[in-house]
Structure 1
């Protein structure tokens, strides 16, 4: 069963108690949480660029100003072939941010789209000074897109969401409220009422149950794209391969506090879902990777070394016993399969230790390696 959050009536309303689930893990030497952001006035829109005295010229739409100084909130939106949804998504985001009234930047990461996504983003960039765009040379996957967004995010709080209009930007406010006042480091959305195909809903439930059982973090919707992070989480947890769906688990294993909030979910309006049987099967292999990384990510020799040493010792003991039989009891060993087993175990032991040493060297060499290449970037140096 999931531990429920207990809050006094003075702090939270009954509605918010129903929205949140919290998970705690002891943590040592964690830096003190940063001060909570205070509301700031929404930047005024620029005046129209139309020239007076020219009645035929059409006024350009007002442009949203980039936040002066460092933004308090960064919204990271990875996308792939979502050209039809981007304009509407931007409108929804703008409406949600007007209610928040926080200095904000919006980072769109185009993961090698083959449609007109980058063209649409460029047009939005011209109208909204808060937008930053990163375009990959090819499709590297969602983990690489999130990593690129996290590296460029400057906000104290970072929100991730999908670009397919199924995530509701109005839920950002609720995520931030729980992140700030609920004493959490990461808040994950829970699409309690999902508008997805039946097979996707069932496979997701199975996957969440298995993940919770194996990791100890029992979330209802660990793969929800709508999440909110404190900056120290995104700067600590590495994101690569297909590990983006396990960010709450990786954060939990590092001692960060993870919570869950019910969020709205909308049917897909444009494009096709990227979900398929291959994603479901890959998820379980990634789960094994997460379990390995949470224990041996910086010390692979500890795992392979122990296994290799054990195999070598067992093989050595068997070989020693066979040697005793041959020398003392004058037994013949040519027809004893156990002799080959002893030799095989010793060879496996040496190989396992060697793999552990190679893993140590690879980990040290690639600890800061980048898994993507940027084709074009807009807004990185804009003030």
Structure 2
């Protein structure tokens, strides 16, 4: 269903944004496939400080290239593409050959059913490695608990969005690789409907920019960011309650053995109150973040 989103007028209604850093091996073929499928669409390649021929190859294949003066990160490239895009609908996808342009019509069809964002959800056989597959499943379960909805793929970079809705959250998006996580949580937090469409992600062409050890701490921080971005109290309240229970349990022990109130108990109870109050303040800050 490509026709409803393009027409013969000069108004561009579909933009396709591809962040790219040193993707000269794959970006040309990806752009050519996109141009064949959507000849009237606006195809933007954000050249994130590449040191190879990514930019010139993209232009030769028929894309408009946004040149970043130096590498600013995947999220920064996404934001640059969103600011330059003129379409009412934006499709974000990788330039490394993992995402199949032939899947775009299915995402757009779901978008026309009333959703504000449709995410291409990868199956277990589409994960880059066993470790990343396990990590993604953990992220999905944590995020699903936070939002009360099933999230099938929190970190997928292949998604179609309503441009005006997406731009509401540009100030929240990080410059690194966690923009899909932030976008997903922001849409759920704002009450915008999100759908998932199954896709098969191919093995990327070229070398991945993600390093397991270097990025391990960053992905761990994403977990906490998920909680504080969506509903801080859902994260802080269980931690505060756990401190209270530990303090109460230690109080029962010390009272039974020594008939006294331990300073450790006082510390745990004080920490419980402090954590709860931090969560309460964070909840108010979150409300302000999502206020238009």
TM-score by length of 1: 0.56
Q: Which residue number in structure 2 is paired with residue 188 of structure 1?
A: 119
Please identify which structure carries the higher helix content: 2
State the alpha-carbon separation in 2 of the partners of residues 232 and 290 from structure 1. Answer: 23
Q: Which residue number in structure 2 is paired with residue 244 of structure 1?
A: 179
Aligned length: 244
Displacement of 1:280 in angstroms is 4.1
Match of 1:159 among 54, 77, 91: 91
Structure 2's unaligned 5+ residue stretches are: 241-261
State the alpha-carbon separation in 2 of the partners of residues 141 and 266 from structure 1. Answer: 23
Q: Which residue number in structure 2 is paired with residue 271 of structure 1?
A: 207
Q: Is the 8 A contact 2:139 2:223 kept in 1?
A: no
Q: Secondary structure at the match of 1:78?
A: strand
State the alpha-carbon separation in 1 of the partners of residues 208 and 5 from structure 2. Answer: 40
Instruction: Show CA shifts across 1:144-193 (max 9, x none).
Output: 1111111111111110000110100011100000000x211100111123
Instruction: Show CA shifts across 1:252-311 (max 9, x none).
Output: 101100110011221223333525234343223123224323358xxxxxx9xxx9xxxx
Q: Which residue number in structure 2 is paired with residue 179 of structure 1?
A: 111
Is 1:91 aligned to 2:8, yes or no? no
Structure 1's unaligned 5+ residue stretches are: 1-35, 42-67, 297-302, 308-336, 365-383
Is 1:168 aligned to 2:100, yes or no? yes
Q: Secondary structure at the match of 2:94?
A: coil
Displacement of 1:216 in angstroms is 2.8
Q: Secondary structure at the match of 1:77?
A: strand
State the alpha-carbon separation in 1 of the partners of residues 132 and 226 from structure 2. Answer: 22
Equivalence map 1:66-81=2 (5 Å): 69-81=10-22
Q: Which has the larger radius of gyration?
A: 1
Equivalence map 1:76-225=2 (5 Å): 76-98=17-39, 103-124=40-61, 128=62, 131-180=63-112, 182-192=113-123, 193-194=125-126, 196-225=128-157
State the alpha-carbon separation in 2 of the partners of residues 277 and 120 from structure 1. Answer: 32
Is 1:287 aligned to 2:206, yes or no? no
